[in-house]
Amino acid sequence: MSYENYTSHLRKLADVNFANALLQWDQEVFMPEKGGAARASQQATLAGISHDLATAPELDTVVNELLAGNALDEKQRSNVERTAKDFAKRNKFSKEFVEEMSMAISAGFQAWQVAKKDNNYALFEPKLQKLIDLKRREVEIAGYEVHPYDALLDDYEPGTTSADIKAVFDDFKPRLKELLAKVFAAPKPDDSFFKQHFDKDTQWGFGLDLLKQMGYDFEAGRQDISAHPFTVSFGSGDVRVTTRVSESDLAEMIWSCIHEGGHALYEQGLPANDYGLPSGEAVSLAIHESQSRLWENNVGRSKGFWQFNYSRLQQLFPAQLGAVGLDSFYKAFNRVEPSLIRTSADELTYHFHIIIRFELELAMIEGSLQAKDLPEAWNAKYKEYLGIEVPAYSQGVLQDVHWSHGSMGYFSTYSLGSLYAAQFYAQAEKEVPGLEDAIAIGNTKPLLHWLQEKIYTKGRNLTSRQVCEMVTGKALDATCFIEYANKKYSDIYGF
């Protein structure tokens, strides 16, 4: 069999997976409430077809024949070796298990939507427990060497273990706490002007302008509204984002647009000719998150970015922002304060939201924490790490969509992504002449081109560590983030 047989099979598998992703996108954006039961069945059917293709004997045959020969170039061999690893892992799971998981995820998501809306955790609890039980079965089927959580991490961050993440967090936490202590001791900037009435449609138009400025290609994507902002790709020619707009809080739309735009730029920049192949897929979720956090924080929360954009925003909302200077606006959207909602958190306290979820996931997968006990454990950790009381399920354990998707093993990649982002951006500042000056006049093309060359062209055949070392010359080091944050916040808070 030839390499063409191999690529044809993988592209057919990608077609099925992207069709299922399209159904999920529709479920979260447009699907009517009564469509849930049929949608769960449809997605389970496609998940079963995907599993059949991913574990088909003919795929195993062509992979083994190709690896036994010497006709492959370096990139082709890397693709086939990655597929061989995927095949071995997927072949451990029965089609029945895959379909059962898909049904549980559809049911979990639908229950979560209602539970969050009604602030009623009891509606979600049994569905979540079902997903936890299935995830515990999954890790036993997949196998692991040290900790069961490592089997889940391998899906999102290959080559990384829970011990690795603990080591990063153990190094990071005391330095972050030291910085936060200085911030909390200083007077807080006024951000009350964010909490006025901002017309939804006007916000929406400004968000579209921000995405265009970043380089998001609307001929290869679109933006819609969803309860929880997300990005979904059906290939580099169709990458869609969603946002959340609050007429009483301008910040929600701005940062969700920029954040999801960062994800989308990565997906739109993947090599289209490698559709369906490991070399045409993102390296990992931490690298993916590094792109969204780089655009959101290192670019979108910089003063230079708003030197170009703020006058336009003032023109759109003169009554609300006309008397607010750029410096006050910049300090306000970088205000640091413990908060309940992860997606609205500042870029410093955000990491404790992630650490909380990571620790809870470890306990759930270990079996020491059940769904019925999760709200109490959640609330206790928010008190411990952020010093705040959780007043409602919707602002606590029900705020995130991820567990209803069965996405466990995922949250730590958010913090890892922020650390990678700081390291990548520091390197870009060294290698891209006049980067800050370009951003200050609304020109993000030099940065985008650098990211396309350094990050977007790297496929799933590499690990996050390998990419980081290739781009920056060293492995992940939280020092870049701490240095960036100290410089930025000492200027804002005057310490």
Q: Has residue 53 got a pLDDT over 80?
A: yes
Q: Do 348 and 276 share a structural domain? A: yes
Kindly name the residue from 125, 138, 157, 260 that is annotated as catalytic. Answer: 260
Pick the closest to residue 168 from 482, 408, 450, 467 (CA basis): 482
Predicted confidence (pLDDT) per residue in 36-47, tens digit: 889 989 998 999
Q: What is the pLDDT of residues 133-168, one digit of tens each?
A: 999 999 999 999 999 999 999 999 998 999 999 999
Band (71; pLDDT cuts 50, 70, 90): very high
Specify the number of domains making up the chain.
2
Q: How long a stretch of residues is the chain?
A: 495
Which amino acid is located at 477 in the chain?
D
Q: 88 and 19 share a domain?
A: yes
| pLDDT at residue 344, rounded to an integer | 83
Q: How far apart are CA 184 and CA 352, in angstroms?
A: 15
Structural domain contains residue 472: yes
**147 found inside a domain:** no
**Given the structure tokens 């082709």, which residue do they identify?**
76
| Residue 130 within any structural domain of the chain | no
Q: How far is CA 87 from CA 56, 175, 377, 466, in A?
A: 9, 41, 37, 23
Question: What are the structure tokens assigned to 69, written together?
Answer: 């020969």
* pLDDT at residue 207 is higher than 90: yes
Q: Are residues 180 and 97 in the same domain?
A: no
Pick from 492, 491, 485, 204: which is nearest to 332 by CA? 492
Do 116 and 200 fall within a single domain?
no
Instruction: Provide the pLDDT for residue 250.
Output: 94
Q: Are 277 and 410 contained in the same domain?
A: yes
pLDDT > 70 in the chain, percent: 100
Helix (H, G, I), strand (E, B) or coil at 242: strand
Question: Closest Cα to residue 366, out of 162, 170, 167?
Answer: 162
Residues 32 and 117 in one domain: yes
Q: What mean pLDDT is predicted for residues 403-407?
A: 93
Same domain, 178 and 320: yes
Q: What percent of the chain has pLDDT over 90?
A: 96
Residue 359 lies in a domain: yes
Residues 169 and 270 in one domain: yes
How far is residue 426's CA from residue 421's CA, in Å, rounded to a whole number?
8
Mean pLDDT, the chain, whole residue set: 95
Helix runs in 198-323, H state only: 200-214, 250-269, 285-293, 303-316, 318-321
pLDDT tens for 431-464 read 999 999 999 999 999 999 999 999 999 999 999 9
Give domain status of residue 156, yes or no: no
> What integer pLDDT is reported at residue 68 of this predicted model?
94
Same domain, 379 and 272: yes
Q: What is the pLDDT of residue 33?
A: 86
Last residue of a domain, one of 90, 121, 152: 121
* Cα–Cα distance, 358 to 152 (Å, whole number): 12
Say what angle helices 285-293 and 464-472 make with each other, to 10 degrees.
50
| Domain-terminating residue out of 121, 148, 181 | 121
What digits encode the pLDDT tens for the residues 4-23?
999 999 999 999 999 999 99
Q: Is the pTM for the entire model greater than 0.85?
A: yes
Which of 121, 150, 182 finishes a domain? 121
Q: Per-residue pLDDT for 1 more than 70? A: no
Interval 303-324 mean pLDDT? 97
**Coil vs helix vs strand at 233:** strand
Q: In one letter, which amino acid is 9?
A: H
Q: Are residues 185 and 117 in the same domain?
A: no
CATH of the domain at 287: 1.10.1370.30
Q: Give the Cα-Cα-Cα angle 213, 219, 221 (nearest 5 degrees).
A: 80
Q: What is the 3-state secondary structure (H, E, C) of 264-293?
A: HHHHHHCCHHHCCCHHHCCCCHHHHHHHHH
Confidence (pLDDT) at 37: 87
247 in catalytic set: no
Same domain, 256 and 337: yes
Domain containing 205 equals 162-493
Order of strands across the sheet that contains 239-243: 223-225, 239-243, 231-233
Asked if 68 and 215 sit in the same domain, the reply is no
Structure tokens given for 379? 């609330």
The CB-based long-range contact list for 157-162 (8 Å cut-off, 24+ gap) reads: 157/284, 157/285, 157/286, 157/412, 157/413, 157/416, 157/464, 158/284, 158/460, 158/463, 159/463, 159/464, 159/465, 160/286, 160/463, 160/464, 162/362
Q: Specify the pLDDT at position 227.
A: 81
User: What are the DSSP calls for 337-397, one per residue?
Assistant: ---S-GGG--TTTHHHHHHHHHHHHHHHHHTS--GGGHHHHHHHHHHHHH------GGGTT
Band of pLDDT at residue 343, cut at 50, 70 and 90: confident
**Strands 223-225 and 239-243, sheet pairing:** parallel
* Mean pLDDT, residues 44-55: 94
Tens of pLDDT, residue by residue over 159-174, are 899 999 999 999 999 9
Domain contains 150: no
Residue 333 lies in a domain: yes
- Is the pLDDT at 366 greater than 80, yes or no? yes
pLDDT band per the 50, 70, 90 thresholds, residue 66: very high
User: Is there a domain that residue 342 lies in?
Assistant: yes
